Amino acid sequence: RGILEFSYKYPGMYMFHAHVTEFAELGWNGMFEVLP
């Protein structure tokens, strides 16, 4: 488990997904919104 902190130049909806093979094959992904 870890915590990541990062910033985005543009607001909007972004998608993330698993890079671990077992989870990627299950279609694990999600969306998050970057606010201005």
Per this entry, what is the length of the chain?
A: 36
pTM of the model: 0.57
CB neighbour list of residue 14: distance below 8 Å, 6 or more residues apart: 8, 31, 32, 33, 34
Each residue's pLDDT tens digit, 17-35:
777 777 778 878 888 999 9
**Which residue is it, tokens 């890079």?**
19
User: For position 2, what pLDDT does the model report?
Assistant: 80
